[in-house]
Structure 1
Amino acid sequence: MEAILEKKPLKKTLEIESLLKPIDLELHIPGSKSVTHRAFIMAALANGVSHIENPCLCSDTRATLKGLSSLGVNIEENSEGLVIHGTGGQFEVVHDSLCFENSGTSLRFFVTLCTLANRPITITGDKRMEERPIGAMIDALLELGCKIVYLKSNGYPPVKIFPGLTGGKCHLRGDISSQYFSSILISSPFASQSVQILPTSAIHSRPYIDITLSMMNQFGIEVNQDNQTQLLEISNQKKYTATNYVVEGDFSSASYFFAAVAILGGNITLKGLNSHSHQGDIIFLEILHRMGCQVLVNSEGIHLSRSPNKNLIGLSIDMGNCPDLVQSMCIVASFASTASYISNIAHLKHKETDRIEATASELRHLGVGVETTSHSMKIIPQKTYHGGKVATYNDHRMAMAFAIMGLKVPGISIENPSCVNKSFPQFFELLNQFYA
């Protein structure tokens, strides 16, 4: 059977060969992108030398590494990971203009991080990044004594950031991006005084904030939380400590392979994942179990299976805390015996593309019934689907999710497959093992 991945660069359009049998496979999942971003930055802020093992090295995290190098951080790469020489929060600017291309996490984290630098820095990204809002975070930082100037449109990159993070109390919306909270949290130990962050709305993607808080604790920083008001308080009396940190496997990346077994049947064992992880996307195991799959966790890894004779059941589910799973969920839901209703996903409009409309458009193109609102999707399974060329909108998660659909539906091809390099460069290499 012809391989999906060739040794030469991926084609501009890649046809996915469908599988005619259930899956029986074991794979190792690479490190978490979300954890890797945070580990790199916390190590750079620490006093001393940190060793980061099993990092996710993709275009997004390499954008973070490039940004840290521009702030004077000494970074060494070896066979096990990276060695990062911490600065103790004292950044000596090497390049005063940083472009993070399409890495929203990098750009948002560096907005606060650059207030710790010794001179002004301009931060920008690609055309899509200039359409992704950061105004709520900038407003909060202005409350904390920062000086930040918009260079084009108010509320959006590019921005010029001046040295200085005073601290105090700020108010921050939680319904746009959890990265606003993580950005301020990570740099707050270096403010002139303690920092208090008060959410002014419900927080979407809360598990990503929990990842930040857990990792700050592992690097020596404790954040006080008020369970009633959701107030977060960070003291400036303690600083990060250099740490040898092993990055756990990425549940967002794992979701595609779990989804493949859900729609094709069979079983898969994924290694490298932490069954007690703070990653919000671990909930995909619970979702698939409710839909009709079996889940087993043991010393070998996480096993997921489904008998090809057992129907998948549609669900009504709030996915506000796991936005990166929505496309995977839509693919699985397309093969359920009943409709699925996915709600609380308005914030998907601010991702690499408008993921509600992009996903709905491509599903309809392949014959799936889809209804959308500004904050929800309804997936209505049909008896048969047809192949077609899937536009990815330069969104890595579009490419990976619809490639999985191509394992079930003959004739699906993926435009711009190399966009998976943003988060998961090994994706097609691992997918190729399904044909062994």
Structure 2
Amino acid sequence: MAARPILTVIPPTSPLRGQVAPPGSKSITNRALLLAALARGTSRLSGALKSDDTRHMSEALRQMGVEVLEPDDTTFVVSSDGQLRTPTGPLFLGNAGTAVRFLAAAVTSVDGAVTLDGDDYMRKRPIGPLLDALRSVGVGVDCATGCPPLTVHAKGGFPAGRIEVDAGLSSQYVSALLMAAACAEGPVEIALRGKDIGARGYVDLTLAAMRAFGAQVEQQDEMTWRVMPGGYVARDYFIEPDASAATYLWAAQVLSEGDIDLGVADADFTQPDARANDFIRQFPRMPALIDGSQMQDAIPTLAVLAAFNETPVRFVGLANLRVKECDRVAALHDGLNAIRHGLATVEGDDLLVAADPALAGSTCDALIETHADHRIAMCFALAGLKIHGVRILDPECVGKTYPGYWKALGSLGVTFERS
């Protein structure tokens, strides 16, 4: 077996300064790609992210008869008659959770069986609650484990009527149903089963994108949405920069006492993870308790930053992090303790970080197991800005959402050793 690549971060000797433009939002790009594919006409998506996740989504759409052109590094041009076709083979979606979950509902519009599969990590990520919701309205779905692979036996249309979904594990289940529902023959009412929903703010992103592409959708109450039939119409659509990616740059700025210009005002981010900047600005006096339930992808950034805080931080609301690209609660615990034993502990789903500003300038022998998770690689690079000896396994896994991450840090003055 070939040796796994390792990247060692060399702590900079001066504050990080410069301008870095974060990539386009992964969450919005994959929503816009699907909506453009379900729309009649040609849509131009500018400011888009080009990464592993969006590549898997665009390739799957091409397999279903949609024309997806890429005239430059930040643009997709999508042409469709508003109808997906049955692919000739399985749709392989890597570890792109948005692609698998969104398409599991969207492919109900084809006439035939569609199999969705992914890599070994995706085959551990639960999708059962979404499939249960589809089955409840008569959609045939085969799925042996509650995780991909799965096969949807589609009958040419999303069923109208009322559909209930348990979204406690992921808001993506709700978003998937909402986007597909606009292509039904009649009105669709989507209701939460139970009050818990992970990262509700991402449902708001979905609703905004749907309305931009012409859908008629109303939130009837905190638990229920009503989507009218009519499908989508093509349009030109700008995708804002990725707030999750921005958190690493915001954290790098405060850790190095630098000045990093992202080229976008903080207030212009509409994604839930932008809330993390409120806590980053408080460093090194971050609060003792941080609820991560509504900004889940920002928690790895905040957890590593907390290691250098003046006082300990307890992170709560992390249950959904257990079922991301890896178990991020465990991965953060293990990585922080590789830096210094006892730096982190886990109680249930809570992560406790025993802050110590004296870590800055110290030396460790920390080999960070990323589990091929882009966010684990990117957040622990932040620790390497302050501590000697932080080594990142499989550093190119950042390509899932931020292929230019290492180059971006390099442009600010960070150096690396690769082996």
**Same fold by TM-score greater than 0.5:** yes
Distance of 1:86 and 1:273 partners within structure 2: 34
* Structure 1 residues 79-118: aligned runs within 5 Å: 79=72, 81-88=75-82, 90-118=83-111
Distance of 1:322 and 1:427 partners within structure 2: 20
Change in Cα spacing, 1:273 to 1:81, as seen in structure 2 (3 Å) is farther
Kindly provide the CA deviation profile for residues 199-246 of structure 1, in whole angstroms up to 9, marking residues without a partner as x: 12311111111100011111111311123x42011111x221101011
1:161 is aligned to 152
Moved segments of 4+, more than 6 Å = none
* Structure 1 residues 122-271: aligned runs within 5 Å: 122-150=115-143, 152-153=144-145, 155-164=146-155, 165-201=158-194, 202-227=196-221, 229-236=222-229, 238-271=230-263
Q: Which has the larger displacement, 361-370 or 335-344?
A: 361-370
Q: 2:382 aligns with which of 376, 401, 404?
A: 404
Give how far 1:273 is off.
Answer: 5.7
Q: Contact conserved, 2:22 with 2:262, CA < 8 A, in 1?
A: yes
Distance of 2:106 and 2:29 partners within structure 1: 16
Amino acid at match of 1:158: P
Aligned-residue Cα RMSD (Å) equals 1.7
Change in Cα spacing, 1:11 to 1:127, as seen in structure 2 (3 Å) is closer
Distance of 1:340 and 1:14 partners within structure 2: 28
Q: Contact conserved, 1:31 with 1:54, CA < 8 A, in 2?
A: yes
Amino acid at match of 2:12: L
Distance of 1:74 and 1:269 partners within structure 2: 36
SS at match of 1:29: coil
Q: 1:281 aligns with which of 273, 284, 288?
A: 273
* Structure 1 residues 49-68: aligned runs within 5 Å: 49-68=42-61
* Structure 1 residues 352-391: aligned runs within 5 Å: 352-367=325-340, 369-382=343-356, 383-384=358-359, 385=362, 386-391=364-369
Q: Contact conserved, 2:279 with 2:286, CA < 8 A, in 1?
A: no
Distance of 2:94 and 2:186 partners within structure 1: 33
Q: Does 1:424 align with 2:398?
A: no
Q: Contact conserved, 1:262 with 1:332, CA < 8 A, in 2?
A: no
Q: When the two structures are aligned, how many residues end up with a matched partner?
A: 403
Amino acid at match of 2:301: S
Percentage identity across aligned positions? 29
Q: Which has the larger displacement, 112-121 or 60-69?
A: 112-121
Give how far 1:312 is off.
Answer: 3.4
Kindly provide the CA deviation profile for residues 160-204 of structure 1, in whole angstroms up to 9, marking residues without a partner as x: 111232121122112101110111111111123221111123111
1:338 is aligned to 311
Distance of 2:238 and 2:321 partners within structure 1: 30
Distance of 2:164 and 2:348 partners within structure 1: 25
SS at match of 2:86: coil
Give how far 1:97 is off.
Answer: 1.1
Q: Contact conserved, 2:322 with 2:328, CA < 8 A, in 1?
A: yes
Q: Which has the larger displacement, 386-395 or 43-52?
A: 386-395
Distance of 1:213 and 1:36 partners within structure 2: 14
Kindly provide the CA deviation profile for residues 20-47 of structure 1, in whole angstroms up to 9, marking residues without a partner as x: 2222222111111101001111001101
* Structure 1 portions without partners, runs of 5+: 1-9, 293-310
Give how far 1:387 is off.
Answer: 3.9
Q: Contact conserved, 1:44 with 1:86, CA < 8 A, in 2?
A: yes
Amino acid at match of 1:226: Q
Distance of 2:266 and 2:288 partners within structure 1: 26
TM-score normalized with structure 2 length: 0.92
Give how far 1:86 is off.
Answer: 2.0
TM-score normalized with structure 1 length: 0.89
SS at match of 2:412: helix
Change in Cα spacing, 1:199 to 1:139, as seen in structure 2 (3 Å) is same
1:300 is aligned to none
Kindly provide the CA deviation profile for residues 227-275 of structure 1, in whole angstroms up to 9, marking residues without a partner as x: 3x42011111x22110101111001011101111222212221114662
Q: 2:23 aligns with which of 11, 27, 30?
A: 30
* Structure 2 portions without partners, runs of 5+: 415-419
Give how far 1:145 is off.
Answer: 2.5
Amino acid at match of 2:412: F
Kindly provide the CA deviation profile for residues 379-429 of structure 1, in whole angstroms up to 9, marking residues without a partner as x: 111333524211111100000001111111112111000100111001001
